[in-house]
Structure 1
Amino acid sequence: MRSAPSYAGLSFEGQQKSALEVARNRLMVAVLLFFAAFAVMMVRTVELGLSTPEETQVAARHIVVPPVTFSRADIRDRNGEVLATNLESASLYANPQEIKDPHEAAVKLVSVLQDLSLADVEAKLSSGRHFVWLKRKLSPREKWQVNALGIPAFYFQREEERVYPHGRLAAHALGFVDVDGNGLGGVERYFNDRLADKTMTDQPIRLSLDTRVQYALTDELEAAMSAHQAIGAAGLVMDVNTGEVIAMVSLPDFDPNSIGGSAGKERFNRVTQGVYELGSTFKTFTFAAALDKGVATLNDGYDATKPLHIARFTIRDDHPKARYMSLPEIFAYSSNIGTAQMALDLGTERQQEFLSEIGLLQPSTIELPEVGAPLYPQTWRKVSTMTISYGHGIAVSPLQLASGISAMVNGGRLNAATVVENPDAWRTGKQVISQSTSRKIRQLLRLAVTKGTGGRADAVGYRIGGKTGTAEKAVAGGYDTRALISSFVGVYPMDDPRYVVFALLDEPRGTKETFGFRAGGWVAAPVVKNVVLRTAPLLGVAPKREDDGLYHQVAMMIEKD
């Protein structure tokens, strides 16, 4: 037995000092031991902090955990606005072998993650496996709620979630990804390899879209679709000189942040994938071909006194004048009779060649996987030549129409449509009509707004030109007169064209404001006008007084009724 320290021979004061010294030494030893233990704990804490959760868990329980998901580059608009990006997320998994009561654990989990199935969760937790996924990509609130349950067998895996900050805006152009981050639609799919390239994740893809213009176009189309109870709508804004798509809208749309809740019809891109008979907008191409080939001049005309009869078909005018009409009148008043006769003079072969040259007989080459192929007769008869001249018997996408119209007004150069920012795209364009013909087409398009069927698209100061389009929807065995595709394609400013604006409503209904009419000039033209008024200042196009000199010549060819 250890003896107590001896204090014999010491005075009381000396004994007291010795005792204090011994106590101090013992305290110092205790303090040093405490700090040593604390240092060991601190080093271990840092070590654990630097290691990933899955490494720690694997070391402790030998659980095989999938690796952290890969990164993906951002997608931005032409102004640098983020349209798609990756954010760190957490996914929930469990080790069923650590769970004593699978039913109780499942009930608790489903109480906070109510989108999960109790039966599915309980089956997973009862599986006896070492690892089961319970839910991928939890929100911060969901992660907190699961942690609050205090179930030791639940763990989180760090992942990355693809996020679209603007929700539904530009959804069809952007597309979406699956749970593992693979592109499944739109730009996300078309550029999937580029976006997923580890060496380029810090280099975003910059699109030609302008978020501000996209919002305005979406807002106006939604309002028109609601007002006219249409089943769908589509629209786009395109730079006529580069082919860059500034805005692209297809309605109904979807939220790429929650793709599981969308249907196929919502993911269908009406702008690039949908093909429609676009009616009288096609007259622009018939006039351009005839003028450019020397078949007709603006001083010529055709007899539109009565309908044309060919085979079992009858060609009529929606706005009959029942008289001889000059070419400017035929265009402004949208005469099918006059346009069909001009197409016959042009001829089937030259009509086909021209439409092919401006890209209306082939699918668009835009950087999206959802691209529709045009529909036209395999056997191009005389009646086909006549009806196609005014947009019946041929179906193309709105994107194809906008690209063709751009070439008709920009001096005659056809540029490939693109959703990627490329201000130098005009350098690769090809000449399809002369500059002289392009100038005449601009005159006619402006005339159709100031004197003809497109009057409701006129916006003071912006010199809009354009063409209405109204076509009955094709059905088995013919056409449904009750179902219309109503559209308007506009260009501004016509003295120096910058942008094409297109709007389409699928099966619109007439209203009190339109006096029951549902044609393109009544329901789609106002959409184009409103979009121009809202976006022209954003795009740097200032209003100014119109120079009548450009249009005076053709305007004088219009007779007063």
Structure 2
Amino acid sequence: MEKLRSKIIIEDYKNNFDFKKNNTSLNIEFNRVAFVFFFFFIIYLIYTIHLIHLGSRKSKIELNNDLPMFTNKLYRADIVDINDNYLAKTIKSIDIGIKTSDVIDKKKLLLSLNIIFPNKDFNKIKKQLNTKKFFWLEKKVSEENYEKLMKLGDNSIKPEEKVLRIYPQKNLFSHIIGQIDDDNNGISGLEKSFDEILRNSKKPIKLTVDKDVQFLIRKELIKYQEIFKSKGSAAILMNVNNGNILSLISLPDFNPNERQNITDVNFINRVTKGTYELGSVFKPFTFASALNEDLIKPETKFLDLPKSIRCDKHRIGEYDNKIPSDLTAEQILIRSGNIGSVRIAQLVGPEKHKSFLKKVGVLNSIDFDIDEIAPQKDYNFGKCRLATASFGHGVATTILQLAKGYAVISNGGYDIKPSLIKKTTETEEKKNRLINKGVSYQVVMTLRKIVNTEEGTAKFADVPNYEIGGKTGTADQPEEGSYSEAKINTFASIFPTSNPQYVFIVMLDTPQKAKDYYYKYRHQKGGWKGTLYNTAGWTSVEVAGKIMDKIGPILATKYLEIN
């Protein structure tokens, strides 16, 4: 019996031992599973948090057009052209800084950064890590590199969102749009004159300019500036009936994205800020002034005109001695006679002629959308000033004022205000008539003959189907009380002459003869090589004609409203 009890006890002991051993194995396996589950859970949690962070950042970027996202100090409204192409745009970017006190492992951080930014100077970064409390690692970081940096999970990496002003068209609208400084303040162009509005407007500011037209005109100006080796050039295209400007270009220009401190006066806005004696482009005003006073008709004859006259100690002569001595008033303008223009102005008289030039805006201060506007000098008109002003010397003005004057004498005689800003609503405003009815028609018909007749000085601008009329102007530039050999060559045109819609002006500053350039009349066979005369008829007119070949189809299909 004792043996049996002992056997039972031993068996019970073994059973107990075996049970405990199995229980321990189960615990170990359970702990392993729990550890693996916990490990993957942590990884899942980290990636979930990271994805949430990226998602929230993306949603913020998508909302960057809402004004509340920006402070008034940083935000500026976008600027677009007539077709809603961006000319200036505010975007958000991210700068990456390093707070050195939060760096845990410098070697590991440097290694990681070197993988992301292999082209950086890491000797410099290493020095900054050891000597600075904070430094900027990368300005305007790319989206791809931002994500790589965030995946490092290093608390020393400090992203900071910033607002940027970019100009997608680069140089194309530089003299119109202007620049801002590093504190986001407008310092030139529309950025300056509309600074407060740009800071507070929620909507883009729409301009009247057309990107495609601007591009084509600028391209041709650059081409011919190289051909004629001119110091600079300018062009303006404006609607004669409402003053809307489709294109305004001054060369040389600049890239506003670079925020250059431009001190070279050659970068002046030649359309609005440069003042010039513009020569014979003033003769249509002399013709119109006398017509407006009912002192002449186009067929009025001027007989026995001398080849030269004197005013005090100065001699006034014809640019071409082949001009006949007997001319009608219309022929004087077509053949660009200086003496005939003086005689017409003398009929009007100093005060009335000065009043006319101010009335049409040529010698009157002009209110414009950008601040870079040259002040207009108030000239004292005596008999000599009257004589020289009749053919565009002795008085200086801007290309913008010239454009306004040509608009007034071609649109029926009504006042207009040149503008770059598209009106929000097209309202019928009562027009203010400045010159008598019928004067415009007589002037425009004569301007057409300057382009399409053999006697005219602007035959190179006779582009088929666009009915261009205009006047050339070649002027010596004043220098230290006298005149230099340097020229200002200008062509001011109106089209179509059957129903004037636009004024287009091209000016070349100090052009030279082009010995290798090939000239060809559009309606004649053959041509010749080399510029014969350094006058507007051989430079500015040629440029304007080539530009009209390019922009004419766009204007005809998009803008012209011929009745």
- Settle same-fold status: TM greater than 0.5: yes
1:26 maps to 2:31: yes
Cα distance in structure 2, aligned partners of 1:334 and 1:506: 21
Match for 1:368 among 367, 370, 373? 370
1:259 maps to 2:259: yes
1:9 aligned counterpart, secondary structure: helix
Partner of 1:90: 94
8 Å CA contact 1:339, 1:390 repeated in 2: yes
Give the Å deviation of 1:386.
1.1
Partner of 2:15: 9
Report Cα offsets for 1:31-86 as digits up to 9, x if no partner.
Answer: 6654775677568657876899xxxxxxxxxxxxx999723221111011111112
Instruction: Provide closer, same or farther for how the CA distance between residues 19 and 76 of structure 1 changes in structure 2, counting only shifts above 3 A.
Output: same
Cα distance in structure 1, aligned partners of 2:290 and 2:72: 62
1:501 maps to 2:504: yes
8 Å CA contact 1:275, 1:375 repeated in 2: no
Match for 1:160 among 159, 163, 178? 163
Partner of 1:79: 83
Match for 1:187 among 185, 190, 196? 190
Deviates more, 1:522-531 or 1:147-156: 147-156
Counterpart amino acid of 1:310?
Answer: C
Give the Å deviation of 1:478.
1.0
Match for 2:487 among 472, 484, 487? 484
Partner of 1:298: 298
Give the Å deviation of 1:269.
0.5
Cα distance in structure 2, aligned partners of 1:510 and 1:151: 66
Deviates more, 1:263-272 or 1:439-448: 263-272
8 Å CA contact 1:230, 1:509 repeated in 2: yes
Partner of 1:341: 343
Counterpart amino acid of 2:398?
Answer: S
1:435 maps to 2:437: yes
1:538 maps to 2:543: no
Give the Å deviation of 1:293.
1.2
Give the Å deviation of 1:150.
13
1:519 maps to 2:535: yes
Counterpart amino acid of 2:422?
Answer: E
Instruction: Provide closer, same or farther for how the CA distance between residues 181 and 135 of structure 1 changes in structure 2, counting only shifts above 3 A.
Output: farther
Counterpart amino acid of 2:488?
Answer: I
Give the Å deviation of 1:227.
0.6
8 Å CA contact 1:228, 1:508 repeated in 2: yes
Cα distance in structure 1, aligned partners of 2:153 and 2:533: 64
Instruction: Provide closer, same or farther for how the CA distance between residues 315 and 523 of structure 1 changes in structure 2, counting only shifts above 3 A.
Output: same
Instruction: Provide closer, same or farther for how the CA distance between residues 133 and 265 of structure 1 changes in structure 2, counting only shifts above 3 A.
Output: farther
1:184-333 alignment, distance < 5 Å: 184-197=187-200, 200-201=201-202, 203-260=203-260, 262-265=262-265, 267-303=267-303, 304-320=305-321, 321-333=323-335
1:173 aligned counterpart, secondary structure: helix
8 Å CA contact 2:363, 2:401 repeated in 1: no
What runs of 5+ residues in structure 2 fail to find an aligned partner?
Answer: 1-11, 58-69, 516-528
1:528 maps to 2:544: yes
Give the Å deviation of 1:366.
1.5
Give the Å deviation of 1:179.
2.2
Give the Å deviation of 1:165.
1.1
Instruction: Provide closer, same or farther for how the CA distance between residues 238 and 39 of structure 1 changes in structure 2, counting only shifts above 3 A.
Output: same
Q: How many residues align?
A: 513
Cα distance in structure 1, aligned partners of 2:22 and 2:170: 78
Counterpart amino acid of 2:459?
Answer: G
8 Å CA contact 1:445, 1:465 repeated in 2: yes
Counterpart amino acid of 2:411?
Answer: N
Partner of 1:457: 461
Q: Which has the larger radius of gyration?
A: 2
Report Cα offsets for 1:259-283 as digits up to 9, x if no partner.
Answer: 3275433541101111111111111
- Percent identical pairs in the alignment equals 28
Instruction: Provide closer, same or farther for how the CA distance between residues 113 and 312 of structure 1 changes in structure 2, counting only shifts above 3 A.
Output: farther
Cα distance in structure 2, aligned partners of 1:123 and 1:332: 75
Give the Å deviation of 1:149.
13
8 Å CA contact 2:279, 2:392 repeated in 1: yes
Partner of 2:63: none
8 Å CA contact 1:209, 1:419 repeated in 2: yes
8 Å CA contact 1:509, 1:516 repeated in 2: no
Instruction: Provide closer, same or farther for how the CA distance between residues 136 and 28 of structure 1 changes in structure 2, counting only shifts above 3 A.
Output: closer
Partner of 2:384: 383
Cα distance in structure 1, aligned partners of 2:139 and 2:480: 46
Cα distance in structure 2, aligned partners of 1:21 and 1:122: 53
Instruction: Provide closer, same or farther for how the CA distance between residues 429 and 135 of structure 1 changes in structure 2, counting only shifts above 3 A.
Output: farther
